[in-house]
Amino acid sequence: MQDKYLYAGLIRLHVLHHAAKEPIYGLAMIEELERHGYKISPGTLYPVLHGLEEKGCLTSTEKRSGSTARRFYRATPAGRRALAEAKQKVRELFGELFEDDEPPKLRRRRP
């Protein structure tokens, strides 16, 4: 991903999308993003999570299981509103980005 700076906003939206569905944690998000072709390190993801938390889009809690602790992030009401607004903007942008592309032509089967 040579132009990864172009995708920073998409990664934030992806994180917020999942945090609005259920509590998330860093490693699981790294794996989820990797499934979509984003190869990001903890050193990249955790500042994104902390930044979204500072902006009021996420809230976090620490859960312990024995000697290990894991921080879970969840979307706040403000984060859900921001996600809803962003989805409208993305939908509009998506339409504009692809308006000049022709849909694939269907081949007709010959009997």
- Is the CATH code 1.10.10.60 the one for domain 4-90? no
- SS3 readout for 50-82: HHHHHCCCEEEEEEEECCEEEEEEEECHHHHHH
Please, which pLDDT band fits residue 1 given cuts at 50, 70 and 90?
very low
pLDDT: is 108 or 56 the higher one? 56
Q: What is the pLDDT of residues 54-92, one digit of tens each?
A: 999 999 999 998 888 999 999 999 999 999 999 999 999
Burial class (CB in 10 A: 0-12, 13-18, 19+), 7: middle
Q: What is the residue extent of each domain of the chain?
A: 4-90
Please tell me whether residue 10 adopts helix, strand or coil conformation. helix
Q: Does the pLDDT of residue 102 top 70, yes or no?
A: no
| Nearest Cα residue to 21 out of 72, 55, 85 | 72
Residue the block writes with tokens 């998000």: 29
Give me the pLDDT at residue 20, please. 98
Tell me the β-bridge partners of 73. Answer: 24, 60
Q: Does the pLDDT of residue 2 top 70, yes or no?
A: no
Q: Does the pLDDT of residue 40 top 60, yes or no?
A: yes
Is 32:68 a contact under the CB 8 Å cutoff? no
The overall average pLDDT reported for the chain is 89
Mean pLDDT of 37-51: 93
Ranking 13-17, 34-38, 107-111 by mean pLDDT, the lowest is 107-111
Largest Cα–Cα separation, the chain:
67
The residues near 46 (Cβ < 8 Å, ≥ 6 apart) are 26
Residue the block writes with tokens 């620490």: 62
